[in-house]
Structure 1
Amino acid sequence: MPFTAKPRTFNAAINETVLGTGAKAVTLGGQNVLPLYFFDNTPKNAPAVGIEITDTGYDATGLPALAAFYDGAATPAERAKKAASAEGVSFVCLRFEGADPGGLNKSIADCVAVAKDVLNAIDVPLVVAGCKNIEKDAELFSAVAEVCQGKNVLFLSAREEDYKTVGASVGLAYGQKVGAESAVDINLAKQLNVVMTQLGVSAQSIVMNLGAAAAGYGFEYVASTLDRVKAAALEQNDTMLQMPVMTPVSVETWSVKEAIMAEADMPEWGSQEERGIRMETVTASACLASGAESVILRHPASVKTIAAMIAALL
């Protein structure tokens, strides 16, 4: 007997959240099929791939291709413009590493100036990530959200400790999109979405960051959480888990030994840059297969590969 495929679709769907404005605005979500099950139904919006830069720049030692890509780009705005031109890029993520009070402790005014310059330098949507300091991020997000009004910027992220401050300023006062960050736990993710919407932030303005890990470094917890969230959203029509997911892959994958160990120290491992790219692409593809609607990567080669994978599946 011939095999007849039966497409599996759901009456429920992932919320649509728009980032940016104009012709290059990006819409996350909208699908009513399991992750990457594009053979069941063409997705309303394809998964998006972002590229990350920081306000301080990267140490490209041992990463000649990355150094060559940003060659001549001395400022964050110049690096952002080059990043936005990389093949396969849907949006740029600006991470404020320099704002960390335990590091350079850049002033809010300096960070705001950088954000304005970056926003003016790119023609794709902007995502802003903080320094992981609760107090500094709350102040930083509010100030940057104000100068970016009307641009549909996504801020990563509001957490249990600061969701009221970040949600009220970023989402309510300035009409931006809010990342809801939880620690790889479906119950924590749902609870944060519940209290954010109770605060008044629209469900269509929330993007979930469920946590991340490099492949082989506890990634099974990330994958299982993504799987459970998508099952609840689509099969159970749980409206508090139907927000699209953005996973910041770059931070995790470029901090593990496979990506940072110099070739001189471990020559048998081969090229440090190739190792990092492979770790990033493997992790990103696994995140997309598990349920992320978008991923943030660092290396332009990784962006190109993942964007090509998505295009091949459509």
Structure 2
Amino acid sequence: MAYKMPTQKYSGKILEVTVGSDLKLGGESVLPFYGFDGNIGNKPAIGMEIWDIFPESWPAAVLDVFKDAADDPLKWAAYCVEKYKPDFICIKFEGASPDGLNRSVEECAEIAKKLADNLTVPLVIAGCQDNDKNAKLFTKIAEALTNKNYAFLSAIEANYKEVAAAVGLAYGNIVVAESSVDLNLAKQLNILITQLGVKPDKMLMNPGCAAVGYGFEYVITTLDRIKLAALEQNDETLQMPIISPVSFEAWKVKESVVTQEDIPEWGPQEERGVAMEISSAVGVLAAGANAVILRHPRSVEVIRNFITEMTE
């Protein structure tokens, strides 16, 4: 009698959410990359991070990659799209921070509009570290990008009403619900946002992210539990695709920011940073992320090859 490999069937399915006009996320009915069990849905997407201002805090080894492009967000984004071909661009509006340039929301909206008008890939909009400013920022940018179906990272407990109402209801974009590495908090925020009237297929989740070695095991187990609840228990409140801003975390830990001159035995700073980014991205993808945001082109290349090997 021929051996028949057993398969695991689930009652639930991750929603398919379209970012922009044609970037589809989610749609899987099995655990990540479990093609032997069933439909793995759409391939995980890769985005590249840029800023609205010159990122002086980035390691020199990363800045050198982008040469003169990083002084203008439109030029920077176009350079990334042409040379590295990400699925989307994530622009982080660090210049809007009240502790920095305190760039006006109108100026930020103008930058976002220029990007939207000139790029061939969709945008993910990220804010600064000030929640109050982000609520105003996302509202103004969502208005400038009405019905573009772009994702706004993120609505959190402190500002979800304003962000979700503007981004998801008034201006026809996608709300990313961000929580702090806890299944119950993720579930609660998703419920609150949908109760405002935002449809689940106009939402993504960011249940929290970290770099390897920095609470990363909590991130992985949280993603695992969310996917199992969504698939095994058919929990509709947790069936939105997950986006993980890996670069935000991987490039701020000491292994990535300490120079070789400070600790020679650690080796080249660029190698360490890329290693942190790649290992963190692989971990969250294996645990259920449907999209990752990366910074270094070598990370993009390695993760793209990883996704291809796991899905084909």
TM more than 0.5? yes
In the alignment, the residues of structure 2 paired with residue 236 and residue 276 of structure 1 have an alpha-carbon distance, to the nearest angstrom, of 38
Alpha-carbon contact 1:88-1:304 (below 8 Å) kept: no
Change (3 A) 1:131 1:203: same
Output the amino acid matched with 1:9: K
SS of equivalent residue, structure 2 residue 84:
coil
Shift of 1:38: 2.4
Change (3 A) 1:175 1:91: same
Output the amino acid matched with 1:144: I
Alpha-carbon contact 1:134-1:161 (below 8 Å) kept: yes
In the alignment, the residues of structure 2 paired with residue 75 and residue 88 of structure 1 have an alpha-carbon distance, to the nearest angstrom, of 19
CA-to-aligned-CA distance 1:27-48 (integer Å, 9 cap, x gap) = 1110001012123334221111
CA-to-aligned-CA distance 1:20-66 (integer Å, 9 cap, x gap) = 12xxx211110001012123334221111111101113238754464
Q: Which of 49, 52, 73 is 2:49 aligned to?
A: 52
In the alignment, the residues of structure 1 paired with residue 307 and residue 104 of structure 2 have an alpha-carbon distance, to the nearest angstrom, of 39
Alpha-carbon contact 1:94-1:128 (below 8 Å) kept: yes
Q: Which moved more, 1:57-66 or 1:110-119?
A: 57-66
Change (3 A) 1:70 1:40: farther
CA-to-aligned-CA distance 1:214-254 (integer Å, 9 cap, x gap) = 00111011011101100100000000000110011111100
Alpha-carbon contact 1:88-1:308 (below 8 Å) kept: no
Counterpart in 2 of 1:98? Answer: 95
Tell me how many residue pairs correspond in the alignment. Answer: 311
CA-to-aligned-CA distance 1:277-300 (integer Å, 9 cap, x gap) = 010000000001111111111111
Shift of 1:2: 6.9
SS of equivalent residue, structure 1 residue 85:
helix
The 4+ residue runs of structure 1 with deviation greater than 6 A are none
In the alignment, the residues of structure 2 paired with residue 212 and residue 73 of structure 1 have an alpha-carbon distance, to the nearest angstrom, of 25
Counterpart in 2 of 1:7? Answer: 7
Does residue 1:302 correspond to 2:299, yes or no? Answer: yes
Q: Which moved more, 1:62-71 or 1:203-212?
A: 62-71
Give unmatched runs, 5+ long, in structure 1. Answer: none
Shift of 1:9: 3.1
TM-score, L = length of structure 2: 0.95
Does residue 1:219 correspond to 2:216, yes or no? Answer: yes
In the alignment, the residues of structure 1 paired with residue 5 and residue 285 of structure 2 have an alpha-carbon distance, to the nearest angstrom, of 23
Output the amino acid matched with 1:11: S
Does residue 1:40 correspond to 2:37, yes or no? Answer: yes
SS of equivalent residue, structure 2 residue 148:
coil
SS of equivalent residue, structure 2 residue 120:
coil
Alpha-carbon contact 2:66-2:76 (below 8 Å) kept: no
Change (3 A) 1:283 1:86: farther
Shift of 1:102: 1.3
Q: How does 1:21-170 map to 2 (within 5 A)?
A: 21=21, 25-59=22-56, 63-64=60-61, 66-87=63-84, 89-170=86-167
In the alignment, the residues of structure 1 paired with residue 233 and residue 183 of structure 2 have an alpha-carbon distance, to the nearest angstrom, of 14
Shift of 1:14: 0.3
Change (3 A) 1:182 1:65: closer
Change (3 A) 1:29 1:57: same
Counterpart in 1 of 2:288? Answer: 291
In the alignment, the residues of structure 2 paired with residue 57 and residue 38 of structure 1 have an alpha-carbon distance, to the nearest angstrom, of 42
Counterpart in 2 of 1:313? Answer: 310
In the alignment, the residues of structure 2 paired with residue 310 and residue 38 of structure 1 have an alpha-carbon distance, to the nearest angstrom, of 12
Shift of 1:91: 0.6
Alpha-carbon contact 1:245-1:293 (below 8 Å) kept: yes
Q: Which of 187, 190, 205 is 1:190 aligned to?
A: 187
Counterpart in 1 of 2:247? Answer: 250
In the alignment, the residues of structure 1 paired with residue 224 and residue 136 of structure 2 have an alpha-carbon distance, to the nearest angstrom, of 34
In the alignment, the residues of structure 1 paired with residue 145 and residue 105 of structure 2 have an alpha-carbon distance, to the nearest angstrom, of 14
Output the amino acid matched with 1:33: V
Alpha-carbon contact 2:167-2:174 (below 8 Å) kept: yes
Output the amino acid matched with 1:295: V
What's the % identity of the aligned pairs?
49
In the alignment, the residues of structure 2 paired with residue 258 and residue 47 of structure 1 have an alpha-carbon distance, to the nearest angstrom, of 27
Q: Which moved more, 1:158-167 or 1:228-237?
A: 158-167
In the alignment, the residues of structure 2 paired with residue 157 and residue 60 of structure 1 have an alpha-carbon distance, to the nearest angstrom, of 22
Shift of 1:119: 1.6
Shift of 1:307: 1.0
Alpha-carbon contact 1:88-1:307 (below 8 Å) kept: no
RMSD of aligned C-alpha atoms?
1.6
Output the amino acid matched with 1:291: G
